[in-house]
Every structure is written in C-alpha cells, then in structure tokens.
Amino acid sequence: MLTRHIIEAAVRNALAEDSPWGDVTVELAIPEDARIDTRLVAREDGVLAGGPLIAEVFRQTDSRIEVSALAAEGTRFAAGDTLARVAGPARGVLTGERVALNFAQRMSGIATLTDRYVVAVAHTSARIADTRKTTPGLRALEKHAVRAGGGSSHRFGLSDAVMVKDNHLAALGAVDGETTTAALRELRARAGHTTSIIVEVDRLDQIEAVLAAGVTGVLLDNFSIADLAEGVRLIGDRAVAEASGGVSLDTVADIAGTGVDVISVGRLTHGAQALDLGLDAV
C-alpha cells in the first residue's frame, strides 16, 4: 500500500539525491520572486501512475506551489493530453521538475505495460500479478503502479506468505513425491491455518505430491501451453493455479486460455520502459 509515510520518504530521498547542497542553477539564475505556470503533458499514449508523488515533490520543494487538475491514478490518456497543472514560485518548480517526472514516467510506464497485459487476457478469468522483481527501495511505488494499470499484487515481500521453490525443497531433502508431501505437511502444521502456502513445480508429475499436503496454491513454472492446461486440470478446485515464466505480451493470452487463475509477470516492473511525459511552461 502506498502510504503517506512511503510517499514522503521516497520524495525526500529523491530530492536529497538530486540536490544535496541545493540547486545552484536556480539559486544563481532565477530571481526569488519569479513565478512559472506549467502543465504536465503526455507525449505518448499511456496510463497514469505517480500522481501523489508529483504533488509531494512540489510540496517539499515549495509549499506555495499549486498542483491542480491532476488526473486520477489509472487514467488512460493520449499523446498531447494535459495531466496536471503546476504553478508557483519558479525556483521550487524548476528544482522539483526532474524528480517529479522521474517518478511519473517510471510509474506510468509500469501502469501502461500492466494495462496491456490486462487487456490481453480480458476475455478470460485470469488475473495479472506482479512479483518481487522490483527496484530495491521502490517496491511500494512500483507495485502501486501495477495496481493503477489494473493488475493484482502478488505477495509484497518474504514476510507475507510461504512460497516454496525448488531450492527450498532441495534444502528440505525433498527428493521425491513422498518426501515432498511429508516436508510440506510439516510446514503446513507449523504455519497455521491462516498462512498461505504456494509451491512451485516445474513438472506435471510433481503436482499430486504437492496437493496431497493441502497447499493453498501451485505455481506452474515455465510450463508449455499443453502442460499448463493439463496442470490446471489436475489441480482442479483443490488449489489456486498460477503460471509464471516465459510470459510476454505475445504469449499471455494463450497462457490465460489454459484456465490458470493467476499469471505472475516479472517484467511488469523490471522490464517496463519509462513513459515520455514533459513539464512544459505555459
């Protein structure tokens, strides 16, 4: 969740990084009483995310700056649209301009890419979800952007749910179906009934042993389309069926067509391209 504390801290850190000892350009070149009126303009089509960060940047650079007509998070826009107006003391606007754009461009790029995936599977019941493949320190912002684009949030971090992958099973000594079921049942007993347990498999013959342990979800990793469909059939209504690996805009519709409940897509966050936005003087 994108809380007030997270927004303030992210902006404070970004401004400190960009102007640790002040903005020497505006201090030397721009009169203290100069004012400027600008608009945030889209230079390509997309979906907006990062509006709260834009507002906070200018609040921190100069509380007299007015941010108005700010489009709502998740708004689809076309090239040439005005997404916000920013007006006030020129020094503060110019100092905050790049930081505000960096947040908005990065987050809107994620929201826009997510929207494309969501649209591609709209004819199915599959949900598009993010992963933990995020920029260190910016996870809350990037996962917020995924939600703005219509996606769902996977676990936020390692503290949220149990997700057992191949290396976990190897460390537990689970070398076959019997030992896998036993290890997962023991984990289930320790975790308690309210904790979700998701187990990753990469072969069809692993599914029954995992389901026998009473897990919450099965993550089908890097399966072919045919094997995904068979995996969904085997899982039935006994657990949530999730697909991951090899997901792209070219493949996501076929993956969704197998009947999986969730498709997790790492590239929503680690592969999104920043959107082209600009702050133009009126």
- pLDDT for 37 equals 98
Please, which pLDDT band fits residue 138 given cuts at 50, 70 and 90? very high
**pTM score of the predicted model:** 0.95
Q: What is the CA radius of gyration of the chain?
A: 23
4-118+273-281 matches 124-270 in fold: no
DSSP H or E segment with residue 250: none
What average pLDDT score do residues 79-92 get?
98
Residues 215-269: tens digit of each pLDDT: 999 999 999 999 999 999 999 999 999 999 989 999 999 999 999 999 999 999 9
What average pLDDT score do residues 138-167 get?
93
Q: How far apart are CA 180 and CA 172, in angstroms?
A: 8
The mean pLDDT value of the chain amounts to 96
Amino acid at 214: G
Strand pairing category for 240-244 and 217-221: parallel
Catalytic-role residue among 23, 73, 115, 200: 200
Contacts of 262 (CB under 8 A, 6+ apart): 126, 127, 129, 152, 217, 240, 241, 242, 243
Catalytic-role residue among 59, 85, 165, 185: 165
CATH architecture of 124-270: Alpha-Beta Barrel (3.20)
The dihedral sign for the CA sequence 116, 120, 124, 129: negative
Q: How far apart are CA 208 and CA 231, in angstroms?
A: 10
Catalytic-role residue among 8, 202, 221, 227: 221
- pLDDT for 82 equals 98
Please name the fold of domain 4-118+273-281: Aldehyde Oxidoreductase; domain 3 (3.90.1170)
Three-class SS state of 128: strand
- pLDDT for 175 equals 83
Catalytic-role residue among 98, 116, 139, 188: 98
44 is catalytic: no
- pLDDT for 173 equals 86
Domain positions in the chain are: 4-118+273-281, 124-270
- pLDDT for 180 equals 93
Catalytic-role residue among 133, 155, 185, 188: 133
- pLDDT for 266 equals 95
143 is catalytic: no
98 is catalytic: yes
- pLDDT for 172 equals 87
